Structure 1
């Protein structure tokens, strides 16, 4: 039963709105454009739904206790909780899924959507990625005694 998805959960409702926005953008523009165009149009559609959308969001990277000079930059962050990684490529390769999962791990966010706009039907360009490695606030605060 651990794999049952609650379709009425806030994340799933938000995901549904995001997907509707992607379908609308794809319907209006079609495939074959630059990712940056889809990114800008996605923000316009998301804002129509009253959703907060941040483009090219920077996240600091902590490596071995040091903050790196270079930040992680994600395409879109919706409502401070869902990463959208946009593509306009011939096909989604496993490396794109791994990239999004790495982004989720580094930001400690739980959900991301990989969206390839270079498809005939947008539903064929969508992939939901869940961060199974998310660290809860409880586990951060309950380090084992030394």
Structure 2
């Protein structure tokens, strides 16, 4: 059964930004550098975003500002940036936790350390 993509046009545009960023910076940059260039490209394209947004605490007694989302785009998509050897299961759990906390359906995880960029798309 074929499933329709959610936020197809926006996802396509974000993916273009990610590939441009990877092509310009290469694979040995850090997350802050990637985030800065992505932010510039989002501004240039007039795409609404929030950067490094902290989630509210999820239980009584939890310390504030422990969970920070790299980008929330158009109040629809969570974008999580990584610059490490491998994307791990815990990274997927992290995005799922973020999506659940803010009641979003689509999350993107991208690892800029990979030779060939491959954004991971997660729908929950």
TM, length-normalised to structure 2: 0.89
- Which of 87, 94, 97 pairs up with 2:92? 97
CA shift, 1:5, in A, is: 2.7
92 and 69 in structure 1: CA distance in 2 versus 1, 3 angstrom threshold = closer
Match of 2:110, SS state, is strand
Q: Report the counterpart of residue 61 of structure 1 in structure 2.
A: 57
Q: Report the counterpart of residue 48 of structure 1 in structure 2.
A: 44
- Which of 95, 108, 112 pairs up with 1:117? 112
**Gaps (5+ residues) in structure 2?**
none
Structure 1 runs (4+) greater than 6 angstroms displaced: none
Match of 2:47, SS state, is coil
Separation of aligned partners in 1, 2:87 and 2:68: 20
Separation of aligned partners in 2, 1:80 and 1:86: 17
Separation of aligned partners in 1, 2:33 and 2:43: 16
Of structures 1 and 2, the larger Rg is shown by: 1
- Which of 96, 121, 130 pairs up with 2:123? 130
TM, length-normalised to structure 1: 0.77
**Which structure is higher in RCO with an 8 Å CA cutoff and minimum separation 6?**
2
29 and 119 in structure 1: CA distance in 2 versus 1, 3 angstrom threshold = same
CA shift, 1:68, in A, is: 4.8
**Gaps (5+ residues) in structure 1?**
132-146
Separation of aligned partners in 1, 2:85 and 2:51: 23
RMSD: 1.7
- Which of 13, 16, 25 pairs up with 2:12? 16
